[in-house]
Amino acid sequence: MWILLGIIVAIAVFALMTYNRLVALRQRVGQAFADIDVQLKQRHDLIPNLIETVKGYAAHERGTLDDVIKARNAAMSAQGPGQVAAAENMLSGALGKLIALSEAYPDLKANANFQQLQSELSDIENKIAASRRFFNNAVQEYNTGIQQMPAALFAAPLGFTHKDYFDLGETRTQVEQVPQVKF
């Protein structure tokens, strides 16, 4: 009788410890995504100033400016890692075109405000890359945790499901390049 009771208590304690570990891993994934969100918000806040600066020098580049605004709005309304990653990839491409405009407009390229905004954008891009790495590491640990035995036996019934990575998709090579800042 005591042996059976001891086995039941040991199983219950082990299940409780495993459940708590999975909850901690899931919370870490949430925190990591929130860190990315903070960096993306800073980038979104910087874009209107960048557009206004460029607009003063390259007013007839309306298409490029509209593309950046559309991409920013899409990125701000995206939900979840998959949608956010896709929208941010689109925004990165549009921002690249906006920054490339400076090559055609020497006065814009020499503008101190544009240079400062470009420098801030470069800094934010580096922080986003670091946050993305932290998030993907947290997702890897979480996904491993729910797939390992014995947690795999009860992870899905308790609501622990697979999380997606912050995948860059086809634009990976563009985003991984260090932004070029020329003064």
For 23-47, what is each residue's pLDDT tens digit? 999 999 999 989 888 888 888 888 8
pLDDT in tens, 79-138: 888 888 888 888 888 888 888 887 888 877 778 888 888 888 888 888 888 898 999 999
CB 159 within 8 A of CB 63: no
Per DSSP, helices labelled H in 58-177 are 62-77, 80-104, 106-110, 112-147, 151-154, 172-176
All domains of the chain, ordered by start, with CATH?
Answer: 1-158 (1.20.1440.20)
